[in-house]
Amino acid sequence: MSFLLPKLTSKKEVDQAIKSTAEKVLVLRFGRDEDPVCLQLDDILSKTSSDLSKMAAIHLVDVDQTAVYTQYFDISYIPSTVFFFNGQHMKVDYGSPDHTKFVGSFKTKQDFIDLIEVIYRGAMRGKLIVQSPIDPKNIPKYDLLYQDI
């Protein structure tokens, strides 16, 4: 399950992961290992990680241990998944209010695979924002809180 995917526990490690992933989509899951939704997401991530090994590198980040990134990425709900490519952040329009990250878990493995593929193709073409292929029904709903509230 989640012990198959590499874990990052400090800002330095996250920096290292961002800088070292070359020509592959970097998937950073921000959350806690015990949280049930996180567990679901981690399941999907680990089952697809070998198939996507040529296109993506997946890492799990603990939000309690990297406070800087929790604030920098404005993470208010867990799990949140952020995508990078060659050190550049990739935005995806899921139909949800926040394009910078994916909040919640995926419904099926195929959804995740499709999303990674779309991000990879967009990145190869030089696009920093792509359109999500996932059906809006399958995207978890949440309310985006303004930061000062």
Partner 1 sequence: MAPAQRCPLCRQTFFCGRGHVYSRKHQRQLKEALERLLPQVEAARKAIRAAQVERYVPEHERCCWCLCCGCEVREHLSHGNLTVLYGGLLEHLASPEHKKATNKFWWENKAEVQMKEKFLVTPQDYARFKKSMVKGLDSYEEKEDKVIKEMAAQIREVEQSRQEVVRSVLEPQAVPDPEEGSSAPRSWKGMNSQVASSLQQPSNLDLPPAPELDWMETGPSLTFIGHQDIPGVGNIHSALIFFSGATPPWMIQDEEYIAGNQEIGPSYEEFLKEKEKQKLKKLPPDRVGANFDHSSRTSAGWLPSFGRVWNNGRRWQSRHQFKTEAAAMKKQSHTEKS
Exposed / middle / buried, residue 147 (Cβ in 10 Å: 0-12, 13-18, 19+): exposed
- Using CB under 8 A as the binding criterion, the count of chain residues that bind partner 1 stands at 34
Q: Confirm or reject binding of residue 128 to partner 1 (CB under 8 A).
A: yes
Peptide linkage before 140 cis (omega within 30 of 0) = no
Q: Which of residues 12-71 bind partner 1 (CB under 8 A)?
A: 12, 15, 18-20, 22-23, 68, 71
Least distance (Å) between residue 129 CB and partner 1: 9
Q: Which residue, 25 or 44, has its beta carbon nearer to partner 1?
A: 25
Residue numbers at the binding site for partner 1 (CB under 8 A): 11-12, 15, 18-20, 22-23, 68, 71-74, 82, 84-91, 98, 100, 122-128, 144, 146-147
